[in-house]
Each structure stands twice: as C-alpha cells, then as structure tokens.
Amino acid sequence: MTSNDSVPRRRIGQDGPLVAAVGLGCMGMTRAYETDDDEPRSIATIHRAIERAAAAGTRPLIDTAELYGATANEQLVGRALTGRRDEVVLATKVGLVSVPPSAELPLGIARDARPERIADAAEASLRRLGTDVIDLYQLHRVDPAVPIEETWGAMAELVARGLVRQLGLSEVTVQEAERAHAIHPVASIQSELSLWSREPLEDGVLAWTAEHGASFLPYSPLGRGVLTGAVDVAALGQDDFRSLLPRFQGEAWEQNRQAVQVVAEQARRLEATPAQVALAWVLAQGEQVIPIPGTTRPARYDENLAAAALRLDDEARAALDTTTAAVGGTVSP
Ligand SMILES: NC(=O)c1ccc[n+]([C@@H]2O[C@H](COP(=O)([O-])OP(=O)(O)OC[C@H]3O[C@@H](n4cnc5c(N)ncnc54)[C@H](OP(=O)(O)O)[C@@H]3O)[C@@H](O)[C@H]2O)c1
C-alpha cells in the first residue's frame, strides 16, 4: 500500500475542525534526530501534506512548538505557510523553553508555564508562524511551580482575545486534565503513544479523551522512527537524541527490537509498510486518535497518510497486541 485512495477525517475536540486522520509532526525539521537539515525538503513535506489533504477535501494538522529548534521550527513552519495559512490546522505549544544544558537540565529544556509569560509567548509564536491566530495552542508540560489552573486560565484568555481557537494539553494525568477542563474545554491531549509507549491506555488518559470529546494526538507514534525498521540503532550518532534513550541501549534494546520484527512480519503479510502497520495500530485505539508522525520527506508523508486506510486483521491485531511495551523507557523533559 503506497498511496491513499481516500483520506479518513477526524475532528479536533468536540466542535473543532476536521483534519486528515494522520497529521504531520514538524519537530525533526530542525534537527531533533540525525537528519540533515534540509529546509526545502521539509517545506515540500508540509506542502505535500496540504495537497494530499486538500485532494480529499480536508486539511492536515501541522504540529510544532516554541521549543523546537529553539524557535527555529516555528519560523520554518511560518515560511512554509506563507500564503497558505488557511490550508492547514496549525498547532503549536508553550511551556517548554530552550536553555543552556546544565547538570540539572542536561537536555537543555526547562519548564516555564508562568501565566505572566503566556500572552507574550503566544504573540511571539504568532509572529514566527506569520499568522494572526493559532488553531490549537497546547501546554507542552505542566510547570510544577505553577498550578495548572493559573496557566490554563492565561491560555483561555488568549481564546477570549481571538489569538487562539482551541486549547490542548500534553503529557498530563487524568487529574490535571480534569482541573483544566473545569476552567476551559480541553480540545486535545498529546502524549507519547506507540506499540512501545502504552501509558495512555493504562493510566486512563486515552479513555478520558473519548469520554470528554477531546482528541488524542499520539506523538512519536513510530517509536521515534525505530519501529519502521529503517534506523540502525547501533549506529546512532551522539548528536542524535535517540542515542540517549534507555530503550535503545544494551539489554533493553535486545528485548525491544522484537516489536520491530513483529511489525515487519505483519507488514509483509498485509502488503503494507512497517510505518503503516505501526500507525494503523495507533489509529485503531480510538476514533478520537489523530497521530502526528514526524517526517522531513514528502514521500513518507504519503506513506504515513495511507496508514489511515489500512485495516489490521485479527491476526495482525493479535500479533501486535502481544508485543510488549518497551523496557528502558524514554526521556521526557
Ligand atoms: N508533546 C511532546 O512532548 C512531543 C514529544 C516528541 C514529539 N512530539 C511531536 O510528535 C511528532 C512526531 O514524533 P517524533 O518525530 O518524535 O517521532 P516519530 O513520528 O515516531 O518518528 C519520526 C522519525 O521517523 C522517521 N520516519 C517518518 N516516517 C517514516 C516512514 N514512513 N518510514 C521510515 N521512517 C520514517 C523520520 O525520519 P525522516 O524525517 O527522515 O522521514 C523521523 O526520524 C514530532 O514531530 C512533534 O511534533 C511531541
């Protein structure tokens, strides 16, 4: 399966826009993993997502954040959307900022979701993105120094001012989602979900989104690309973030690589690609699920979008369900 015959659509939140069921994560376009920075190719990928969705009468969800590339990612997305802003549903995030790496913050990422920062941060994102409204403004992480009500209240003011259309959360607990929802509707929750990262299935967050009319946006649905079988884990360079992740080291990797094999076997059997099988499993977790795989290559967006038309049969579901979540975990700021 290499192209999509039809593009299923899913809605953002209860009353938000319809989008193609597979979105596009832009983080890798400014060097998160070991890819060559290729802005023309990245912009072509965003344009491909627009064209594929438009052909099906819809728009793609494009996901970025002020954090990515220390704001360079939003600038790249802004350049890609010049003259085409209305052809996408645009999502960005606030609450994680880039800082010099230190012993305390080795990833060079700090949480900052103080309410007094929110309006300035949103206006700076709007400028970088070259737009006057953000469709989905997401809290990247809850700031432990700030009650979520205060951050969320400041974000809700942006909706009242017309700068933002809907609000989303990322990596929250059910209790945090409840507290935010009591102040302003939670349109989406973005958390890691893949065959290797199943916490949202177990901690009630995925179920909470279904019960409250919110979308669930799985990030890293391809296991940071590794579930596709296209990454040689042993050869990851030190400047590739994945080389830091415990799940790709030593004995943990020996165990975790079994899932890569199962995905490859099912892909062969279903005449699909491994990426499509990994995404189809995520999409099958609920009608509210809209994965945002990251790619910097137009042809891979086509491939990933086609996963929305792939039906996993019982044998595939059983084989994939019996793989286990990754041991060794991941690293989250
Ligand atoms: N909320 C959060 O805290 C958070 C955290 C992490 C990520 N995110 C969001 O989630 C998005 C996706 O996550 P992610 O980029 O970490 O991981 P991912 O989507 O699991 O994997 C991305 C990697 O897979 C490769 N890839 C994509 N399609 C492929 C295909 N069909 N075949 C083979 N390889 C393929 C990409 O390489 P190429 O570019 O070379 O195709 C890239 O290296 C990000 O862009 C970001 O928007 C959010």
Per-residue tokens: 330: 């991941």
Pocket of ligand 1 (CB under 6 A): 25-28, 33, 35, 63, 140, 170-171, 190, 219-225, 228, 230, 275, 292-297, 300, 303-304
Ligand 1 atom nearest to CA at 223:
20
Backbone Cα Rg of the chain = 19
262 assigned to some structural domain: no
126 assigned to some structural domain: yes
pLDDT attached to residue 1:
39
Per-residue tokens: 108: 């060079």
Q: Tell which one of 4, 67, 219, 244 to mutate to probe ligand 1, the residue whose CB is within 8 A of the most ligand atoms.
A: 219
Among the options 33, 68, 137, 301, which is catalytic? 68
Q: What is the pLDDT along the chain (333 residues), one digit of tens a residue?
A: 334 447 899 999 999 999 999 999 999 999 777 666 799 999 999 999 999 999 999 999 999 999 999 999 999 999 999 999 999 999 999 999 999 999 999 889 999 999 999 999 999 999 999 999 999 999 999 999 999 999 999 999 999 999 999 999 999 999 999 999 999 999 999 999 999 999 999 999 999 999 999 999 999 999 999 999 999 999 998 888 898 899 999 999 999 999 999 999 999 999 999 999 999 999 999 999 999 999 999 999 999 999 999 999 999 999 999 998 999 877 777
Q: What is the dihedral angle through the alpha carbons of 10, 177, 190, 21, rounded to the nearest 10 degrees?
A: -10
Ligand 1 atom nearest to CA at 226:
24
The CATH number assigned to the domain holding 62 equals 3.20.20.100
158 assigned to some structural domain: yes
- Domain containing residue 192: 9-231+282-311
328 assigned to some structural domain: no
Domain count, the chain: 1
For ligand 1, the distance from its centroid to the CA atom of residue 332, given in whole angstroms, is 15
For ligand 1, the distance from its centroid to the CA atom of residue 182, given in whole angstroms, is 32
- Contact yes or no for 242/248 (Cβ under 8 A): yes
251 assigned to some structural domain: no
Closest CA to 198 of 47, 35, 323: 323
268 assigned to some structural domain: no
Per-residue tokens: 178: 């409840």
Enclosing H/E stretch for 55: helix 39-55
pLDDT attached to residue 327:
92
Per-residue tokens: 213: 């009319």
Closest CA to 25 of 68, 84, 72: 68
For ligand 1, the distance from its centroid to the CA atom of residue 149, given in whole angstroms, is 31
Residues in contact with 137: Cβ distance below 8 Å, sequence separation at least 6, in sequence order: 91, 92, 93, 94, 122, 155, 158, 164, 166, 167, 168
Ligand 1 atom nearest to CA at 63:
47
Q: Is position 68 annotated as part of the catalytic site?
A: yes
For ligand 1, the distance from its centroid to the CA atom of residue 160, given in whole angstroms, is 33
141 assigned to some structural domain: yes
Report DSSP state, residue 311.
P
Ligand 1 atom nearest to CA at 296:
39
DSSP 258-283: HHHHHHHHHHHHHTS-HHHHHHHHHH
- Contact yes or no for 320/195 (Cβ under 8 A): yes
Write the single-letter amino acid at 182: A
Report the alpha-carbon distance of residue 190 to residue 288 in Å, rounded: 12
Q: Tell which one of 222, 243, 296, 303 to mutate to probe ligand 1, the residue whose CB is within 8 A of the most ligand atoms.
A: 222
For ligand 1, the distance from its centroid to the CA atom of residue 304, given in whole angstroms, is 11
